[in-house]
Amino acid sequence: MMDDTDRDEATSLDKAIEELGPVDPPQGFSRQVMAKISLEAARPRPGVIRLGRGRQSGADHGRRG
């Protein structure tokens, strides 16, 4: 079984895998993610009722009959 000590002896298989290398994300990736997250953050959470506008949650609607 491979142990931590085995990691110091890179085999040809290790080298072949390592040769795949890292992959850079597309340019603007983090900006795009943050834009979506900002939209997400601005969206009302399920079950949260905005007073005075919009629809009420289903649970709340049910209680009112």
The footprint of other proteins (CB under 8 A) covers 1-4, 7-10, 13-14, 16-26, 29-30, 32-34, 36-38, 40-41
* 3-state percent breakdown (helix, strand, coil) of the chain, nearest 5: 50, 0, 50
Please state the separation of Cα 34 from the chain's center in Å: 11
Q: Measured from the CB of residue 51, what is the shortest distance to other proteins in angstroms?
A: 19
Kindly tell me which of 37 and 59 has the beta carbon lying closer to other proteins.
Answer: 37
Q: Is the CB of residue 55 less than 8 Å from the CB of residue 47?
A: no
CB of 12 to other proteins, least distance (A): 9
Cβ atoms of 14 and 6 closer than 8 Å: no
Least distance CB 47 / other proteins (angstroms): 13
